[in-house]
Amino acid sequence: MNGRSIDIQCWNCGKELKNLLLPFSRYEECSYCNADLHVCIACKNYEPSISDACKEDRADFVLDKDRANFCDYFKVNSRAYKKQDNSKARKERAKLAELFGEILPEENAKSKNTVPQSEADKALAELKRLFGDKD
């Protein structure tokens, strides 16, 4: 496995990464999202259904499965990316926002085609919304 190259899909963003040299350095990153690549989640030994999430019994425990580590048992999983279906979570957030009379940021962006605001502008807009100030 030493000295050869591999094409993989980033575990974080799903982008195709071409001709990466093996073995990965601990400092290897995705060229699109800058996610670390030598991480538990991107390893063939990663198995979230077992207690320490690793099929390799000899590997040291790693707390942050999405952060770079020094594991000697790391084996690249070229298809580690799992597209997240967040539709249920979005619906539940929308229900909570409605319950508390709030507008979700993504809904607000859909309804207005405005440029991004500074934190101070956002706070002022929220105050105006809360107190019914129409400007």
Residues 101 and 130: their CA atoms lie apart, in Å, by 10
State the sign of the Cα–Cα–Cα–Cα dihedral 107, 12, 19, 29: positive
Model confidence pLDDT, tens digit, residues 62-99: 999 999 999 999 999 988 888 776 677 778 888 888 88
Q: How far apart are CA 40 and CA 68, in angstroms?
A: 8
The SS3 of residue 111 is helix
The predicted model scores a pTM of 0.61
pLDDT at 66: 93
In angstroms, rounded to a whole number, what is the distance separating the alpha carbons of residues 6 and 66?
Answer: 20
Q: Grade residue 105 by pLDDT with cuts at 50, 70 and 90.
A: low
71 Cβ neighbours under 8 A, 6+ residues apart? 38, 40, 43, 59, 60, 62
pLDDT score of 45: 96
pLDDT value for 69: 94
pLDDT at 17: 93
> Between residues 7 and 93, which one has the greater pLDDT?
7
pLDDT category at 114 given cuts 50, 70, 90 is low
Per-residue pLDDT tens digits for 12-62? 999 999 998 888 888 999 999 999 999 999 999 999 999 899 999 999 999
Q: Reduced to 3 states, what is the DSSP secondary structure of residue 100? A: coil
112 close to 121: Cβ distance less than 8 angstroms: no
Can you give the pLDDT at residue 50? 93
